[in-house]
């Protein structure tokens, strides 16, 4: 809890004066008088910026006047709607206001974590940051439809030639001849899951096979296989930092809610509501 109280997000929310100051600059049109609408300089600039983002040019005088008229109309309708209590018991309005408050909380970034904090998070969640096995290999492809009954003989002949140092191209294919330090998911994406499983039992060094793929069969020279496992911080730093900051933001938002919740009492009026037999 002590760490949460130091979070800038919590301070940001509790520093309500800043929020009200920004709100007043942007929405100065809502004056103390219920019948006076003031288009503030901040609101005017906001209207101009919105127009420029959409049309990629400044608004003309007539267009700006149209924007102002539209905003004034919206403001008047808003005030009249509030006066008529149209905002009450409206789930859309209720949800939207709550979302805007959450957006304010989300917009304040927590302090950047230190290396020690990142490492501590990684140590606490090792399963979320496992590295994949990687493979470096060469392969020669054989299309079974092309070789027919001679497939086994042709593969054995090609294997002996490769082991003697001869260059064998195999059948024409768009598959890569070589992959270096390729992740398991990339190997499976290119050759298929069956090929990846075959690599698991293929010895390193020399030519082996046939290894089945989604496209046919292959002779494979497995140059290197590195097992996956627990990631080092430098390998997953960006992901760890993103997850840690997200967790801190959620914790701080929860702390803000608990502080606000403490100011309210909740009473459930269940009069007239039939309860289930076990309720």
> How many whole angstroms separate alpha carbon 252 and alpha carbon 4?
6
Name the helix (H) or strand (E) containing 188.
Answer: helix 184-191
Q: What is the second-level CATH architecture of the domain 133-227?
A: Roll (3.10)
pLDDT band per the 50, 70, 90 thresholds, residue 172? very high
Its pTM stands at 0.48
What is the bridge-based pairing of β-strands 207-212 and 130-131? unpaired
> How many whole angstroms separate alpha carbon 45 and alpha carbon 51?
10
> How many whole angstroms separate alpha carbon 209 and alpha carbon 212?
8
Return the domain boundaries, the chain. 2-108, 133-227
Note the pLDDT tens digit of each residue in 10-39: 554 444 433 444 444 444 445 556 788 888
Q: What is the mean pLDDT of residues 45-55?
A: 92
């Amino acid at each position: 809890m002590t760490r949460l109280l130091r979070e800038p997000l919590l301070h940001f929310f509790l520093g309500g004066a800043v929020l009200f100051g920004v709100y007043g600059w942007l929405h100065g049109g809502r004056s103390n008088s219920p019948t006076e609408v003031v288009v503030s300089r901040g609101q005017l600039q906001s209207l101009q910026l919105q127009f420029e983002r959409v049309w990629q040019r400044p608004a003309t005088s007539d267009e700006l006047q149209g924007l102002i008229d539209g905003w004034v109309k919206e403001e008047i309708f808003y005030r009249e709607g509030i006066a008529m209590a149209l905002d009450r018991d409206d789930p859309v309005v209720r949800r939207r206001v709550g979302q805007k408050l959450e957006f304010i909380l989300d917009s304040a970034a927590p302090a950047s974590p230190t290396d020690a904090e990142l490492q501590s998070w990684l140590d606490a969640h090792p399963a979320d940051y496992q590295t994949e096995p990687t493979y470096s290999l060469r392969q020669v492809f054989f299309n079974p439809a092309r070789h027919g009954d001679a497939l086994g003989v042709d593969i054995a002949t090609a294997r002996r030639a490769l082991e003697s140092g001869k260059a064998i191209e195999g059948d024409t294919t768009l598959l890569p001849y070589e992959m270096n330090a390729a992740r398991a998911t990339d190997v499976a994406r290119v050759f298929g899951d069956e090929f990846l499983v075959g690599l698991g039992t293929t010895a390193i060094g020399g030519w082996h096979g046939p290894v089945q793929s989604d496209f046919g069969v292959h002779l494979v020279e497995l140059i290197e296989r590195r097992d996956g496992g627990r990631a080092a911080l430098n390998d997953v730093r960006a992901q760890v930092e993103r997850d840690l900051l997200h967790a801190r933001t959620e914790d701080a938002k929860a702390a803000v809610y608990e502080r606000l919740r403490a100011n309210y009492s909740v009473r459930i009026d269940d009069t007239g509501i039939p309860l289930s037999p076990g309720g």
